[in-house]
Copies of this chain bind each other. A is one copy, B any other.
């Protein structure tokens, strides 16, 4: 159950056996069914999430329509960094796309780890930097690329997304509507 997270954390910071096990002891396991909401828009995000198995998405509501901001798969750490930083209500929902097993680490425990094991400060910084750079990448995608380019790049960079995520979520992630994604796929298929 904890093999993956041990590996991921160990690849980022140096911990001895005792520290690593102390960390693991703070984790909570939760299971979510398809479409189940993990974090609701408006709540304050008090946990960091590690995905053991499954796949989740971030989305928010815009005039009744769901806008998907990101997908995440196994072996990643995620949190609503905006809510975490400012302690304000989350603007995102986090939802399981498949049956998903998640390890939760409460902010309280994380802050205690910052205090007791200095290496965790580094983990915190790496998570923050990753959040910034990930957001920047998405922003650049949206400003610099046409919908068709975004589609082609997503297939190239993260083909897994197309295997595991319904297409209308992907359309919304690419900043377009489902019929447009269908047309783009057809257009590209016809070119070949």
Contacts and interface: CB of A to CB of B under 8 A. Distances in A.
Interface of A: 62, 67, 69, 81-82, 85-86, 91, 128-129, 131-133, 135-136, 138-140, 142-144, 175
B133 A135 contact: no
Interface residues of A, dominant DSSP: helix
20 contacts: A62-B144, A67-B144, A82-B132, A82-B133, A82-B136, A85-B133, A86-B133, A91-B140, A128-B132, A131-B132, A132-B132, A135-B135, A135-B136, A135-B139, A138-B139, A139-B139, A139-B142, A142-B142, A142-B143, A143-B175
Please tell me how many copies of the chain the complex holds: 2
Nearest to A145: B62
Closest 4 A/B residue pairs (Cβ): A139-B139, A142-B142, A132-B132, A62-B144
A139 B69 CA distance: 10
